[in-house]
Structure 1
Amino acid sequence: MSAQPLLLNSRLLMSRSRSNMPKILIVDDEVLIATQLKERLIFMGYTVVGIASSGEAAIDMARSLAPDLVLMDIVMPGNMDGIEAAKKIRGELNIPVTFLSAHIDNKLIKKAKLAEPFGYLLKPFNESEIKAAIEVALYKKDMEKRLQESEARYRSVFENTGAATIIVEEDGTLSMVNKETEKLSGYSKEELEGKMCWTNFIPQEDPERLKGCHVKRREDEGAAPTECELCMVDRHGKIKDISAKITIIPGTKKSVASLRDITERKLLESQLQHAQKMEAIGTLAGGIAHDFNNLLMGIQGNVSLALLNMEPDHPHYVRLNNVEQYVRSGAELTSQLLGFARGGKYEGTPTNLNELIKKSSSMFGRTRKEIEIHRTYQEDIWTVEVDQGQIEQTLLNLYVNAWQAMPGGGKLYLQTENVTLDENYVKPYDLESGRYVKISVTDTGVGMDKATKDKIFDPFFTTKERGSDKGTGLGLASAYGIIKNHHGFINIYSEEGVGTTFNICLPVSEAVVRDQREVVRQEQFLTGHETILLVDDEEMIINVSKEILKTLGYTVLTAGSGEEATAVYKVNRDKIGMVILDMIMPDMNGGKTYDVLKEINPDIKVLLSSGYSISGQATEILERGCDGFIQKPFNIEQLSQKIREILDK
């Protein structure tokens, strides 16, 4: 034995403890050769766990003894040669095999490769060849184990990124996907890996743009964005919004992409943007409606005064009556604008929405017999506090919208439901979580496309032909504003050719629903003799209102601003029985003026007046003790009754 093998052997023995000596199984049908090999291996410091003389025995011993390496003779008698035995040991037990053979030709090597051997030893072999073959095999086994562990760790990270993660080949094929990708796409791993391309999931409008990025990224990683948003179509045809992060795997043309479903986030962003847009348009619409109501007030007041002194048979009486009707129509139009602008609840009343829907839908059903109405009511429905007239108007707008979507007739489904909404659900609407009553209005009409849905609540937007009998485009805009002002929300779900559902959610009130009786409007005006201070910055309103008040028998003092009003009141407080106060004035507005007047006289009686409906500001003033509110334009009867209601308290 040469000195070199002995030196190598001693170094290896020193590097391994006895308990860690590699265990080797010898497989050879020639007993003498196997025994000699065993002795040589033991001398070199290895542990020989056994000798097998057939392929079948080798498999059994490998299972029971779990060697670190099998030295396998290729050619053995019997039903199973060394190659077949090696395949099973390698495949089932993952134990490395080094082949032994007296001769090896190309044909045998080709066949032996199928067993994935770790090496070959050609008989006869010397000690250094044995040592080298064994150590190389054990080293490869150790490297393979480390590689498998590394791959397992990588696979674990890959599977648990929290996002759908894919590896994309240069040709676009998906070579590796994780479970989140299966969930996102609707396809199994077996259907995806190596069989589908990323372009299979992209809508028709996106592939060319994304393909360009795919190619550029492989030419120069910095030439294409690493983050982008795209649309993806899943197995069921559902389009999802996706946020993607893509990087090239170093040293390859492959890329790894992390995909997150941001469909819900995009929906919330869209709802928020829409709400902000509606808020801005609403502010503009409210301002226009306020100014228009002031103009109508001037017309209404002068017409009312003219009619007071005119006999019904006068040739101008009918014309003036017509003007008054036109003023009312204009007021209804501005009322819808103010509703959209969230001008405020007129009068909140504890309400059972089941009863309100039953009443409004029955009335609608009598006029639209081609519509089949189905109602489903929540038992023990929670109470809401709403302006019944406005909610009824909102419902009628939705009924009419449904009818127009079903020109040949159809079905209208109305449903109420008690719901509890969490913070995430109401966040886009800037509302509080909690209990709400939900109203659903569903039709079986033509449905809407996305462009229509995006604009459906915009004022003056209509899909109908413009014209006097075709609608103003304010119905749904008004509905949106009314519900928003009631601290609720309205949303829409629609599909072309299927139909549309409007959902309304209104917050629950702890108030008790009382029996409501119809109040017959008194078509007469009430007179008085008190002194009234009239405060308004519009000279036209001052002039006409002063004449109306004088006609009703009152003494009238006037002021064109908040500062002037307080000055006049200080001088005449003992004479003034009541103040009619405009809410919107420059510099010192109605709220500030009221507070100053209240300091002068805590018992002062004040009637607020505005071209707006009751907004948050007016409600706050009323809550501070103000006695009432009247919206412009008002007629002489309405004003006279409101004055006596306050003065006669």
Structure 2
Amino acid sequence: MVAERILVVEDERVVARDIEKRLKKLGYIVPASVASGEAAVEKVAELRPDLVLMDIRLKGQMDGVEAAEQIRSDFDTPVIYLTAYADDATLQRAKATEPFGYIVKPFDERDLQVAIEVALRRRLSETAIRVALEKEKELSELKSRFWSMAAHELRSPMTSILSCAQLLEQEHHRLTEDRRREFLYMIQQSVRSMDQLLNDLLAVGRVESGSLKFEPASLNLEEFCQRLVEQLQFSAEPDHHIVFNCQGQCEQAYLDPKLLRHILTNLISNAIKYSPHRSPVYFNLTCVEGEVTFQIRDTGIGIPPDTQKHLFQPFQRANNVGQIPGTGLGLTMVKRCLDLHGGRIEIESEVDVGTTVIVRLSQHQQVDRQLERTMLS
């Protein structure tokens, strides 16, 4: 266990050495001892200790109370006051800085240790509460954005379906065959968009509930990818062609087929969606020395540099997507699935040039995890 680091602020050198000796005897680390408030602020900024033992009466322009107030404001480091005497006005000033303890000199080691342990425990509790509140706030904001996005994304295809259906009903006799087919195609595309959104929402729900598990199985990766390409090619627009290529020994692998399907479906669908008409999407599978590499490359709109920093955050979409539909959940789910799989992802993209995504996985995940468990036991 790592010992806590405590900064001593005491202008009487003999007293300071005595406190250092007691702290070290109790098992704490004293990274520094200073004699002024100004030096205390500087050392806290430099060393970031876990706790400061602060004498109230210090030489110099800044006393212990002023130093503690600045330390709390700038670094949020807990402070315990040490003093032999202080008048009422000074005590009131000290209380206003919300100290984590107050020890009156002279004190014994037991008093010192109790005060320090109580302060450190309080610090841990306050940190845990603050983190919990921040997460709760973040979750609340995320849920609000989630439902707002879901409502918006569902409303758009539903409106298209309703409009097309009404036109087909009301203008049926006046519409040409090509026009009717166009409306039917728009209805199909809207249904696919809604289906993708619902799949993303259900996947997010499974991740948040913990029901999305890592369950590897024996796979012939080349056949798996070929079947996936056929399915995606069938649902893609006719003028988009997926060019699949396989290299290496990919007939035997232990990977999770559900997670892998979700990863590859999202990445290939994105490549198709953000590519111009009649442009191919290249999907390469490589198996070398126990590592599987999936590469998906397109010549589409690309991802702006400022967006690339936030690619895996929920609901993040680039500002160059225009009217192309999407939820901003696909890459978030890809990253979650990869984390469960123990994989890595690299994305290289240039606006108006295209995007290349590389996913790397161990070819024998099940065996690797068994070995890891054996080594840890």
Range of TM-score over shorter length:
0.3 to 0.5
| TM-score, with length taken from structure 1 | 0.26
Structure with a larger share of its residues in helix: 2
| TM-score, with length taken from structure 2 | 0.42
Largest Rg, 1 or 2: 1
